Amino acid sequence: MPLPPRWVRRLVLAPGAILLAVLLLSSLPIWLLLAAALAPLVPGRLRALRVLWLGTVHLTLEALALIAMFVLWVASGFGWKVRGPTFQRAHYVLTSWYLRVLFWQGRWVLRLTIEVEGADPDRVGPGRPLLVFCRHAGPGDSFILANALVNSYAREPRIVLKDTLQWDPAIDVMLNRLPSRFITVGEDHIEGIAALATDLDENDAFVIFPEGGNFTPRRRVRAIQRLRDLGLYRMARRAERMRNVLAPRPGGVLAALEAAPDADIVWVAHTGLDRMLTIGDVWRELPMDKGIRMHWWAVSPEEVPAGRDERIEWLFDWWHRIDQWIDKNRT
């Protein structure tokens, strides 16, 4: 389904999300009684109640964030200075609060534990610009990464993500005001990525998922075939040896490395949500009772190869290392 124009998203979707939250909260006792009545009939421990509570928390946070951003828009002179430093910082503070509350509730309701290892605060924390290259698999991994960067390492992320995420009103408004880049399938996005990675300061973190989408077995096969179609047979063979990740797409990574030559680099692997590929998978797993592990490798800019071909080889080397880490740590 094509994304509606911005004016429709602002005048219809955003107010609709607030109205839906108000209607849900005003009738919440009725929904709680219905979910409690369904609980014995639905497999899983209080699955219906958990889904209802998470949906309520999500819609409430969406509504509160949208109201707060409307107030900021008015205070900025009806958008005149909304991208100025003061209001940019206010939006990052709002993002921090949103993610903190969301993950507090998510850990409690889903019974999740999230462990981040290998992340040296002296390398990942503020002090130098940062490029973050992360694998993409499972529901919510981009939220987990953003939460770690914002709330654990006091970073201000600049994120490359799919344009379809603009269907979510809070994400749409927030990230169209903060430095970010929404990618449309089939669009030439390299110049936009390079611009986003330019002029990073000491607490910025440029974030991109080089695979271009969540891992699924079907996408893995398509990614390998795409390399063959391009005549990159050696890379296709390397991709075939990686069983847990998609073949990375070098364009965005190369553009970021070129635009921010002095930035530190962090490679991120994670496991724990790999086998939940559809909404049905998530529903069957509730409560998840899962431990999510993330491993961060920090690399200095001096370790980045100089040539284009060498950098592509280096990217595939790291992706192979991430694939091996997943094999050893998958739960």
Q: SS3 for 42? A: coil
d(CA 146, CA 142): 6
Tokens, residue 42: 């639905």
User: For the chain, how many structural domains are there in total?
Assistant: 1
Q: How many residues does the chain have?
A: 331
Tokens, residue 40: 């014995």
Enumerate the H helices of the chain as residue ranges.
6-8, 14-26, 28-38, 47-75, 85-110, 121-124, 141-147, 169-177, 190-196, 217-229, 233-240, 250-259, 279-285, 308-329
- CB atoms inside a 10 Å sphere around CB 326: 22
d(CA 220, CA 135): 13
Tokens, residue 109: 């309701």
Give the count of alpha carbons within 13 A of 330, CB side only.
14
Q: SS3 for 246? A: coil
What secondary structure does DSSP assign to 84-97, as a single string?
Answer: SHHHHHHHHHHHHH
pLDDT digits over 5-16, tens only? 999 999 999 999
CB 243 within 8 A of CB 323: yes
Tokens, residue 314: 């280096």
Task: Give a yes or no: residue 104 inside a domain.
Answer: yes
For residue 269, the surrounding DSSP H or E stretch is: strand 264-271
Tens-digit pLDDT string for the chain (331 aa): 788 999 999 999 999 999 999 999 999 999 999 988 887 877 777 788 888 998 999 999 999 999 999 999 999 999 999 999 999 999 999 999 999 999 999 888 888 888 888 877 777 888 899 999 999 886 678 889 999 999 999 999 999 998 999 999 999 999 999 999 999 877 778 999 999 999 999 999 999 999 988 888 899 999 999 999 988 899 999 999 999 999 999 999 999 999 999 999 999 999 887 766 666 666 666 666 678 889 999 999 999 999 999 999 999 999 999 999 999 987 6
Tokens, residue 224: 């390998």
Domain that holds residue 306: 6-329
The pLDDT of residue 278: 66
**What strands, in cross-sheet order, belong to the sheet with 180-183?**
113-117, 291-299, 264-271, 130-134, 204-208, 156-162, 180-183
Task: Give a yes or no: residue 1 inside a domain.
Answer: no
The pLDDT of residue 279: 65
- CB atoms inside a 10 Å sphere around CB 103: 18
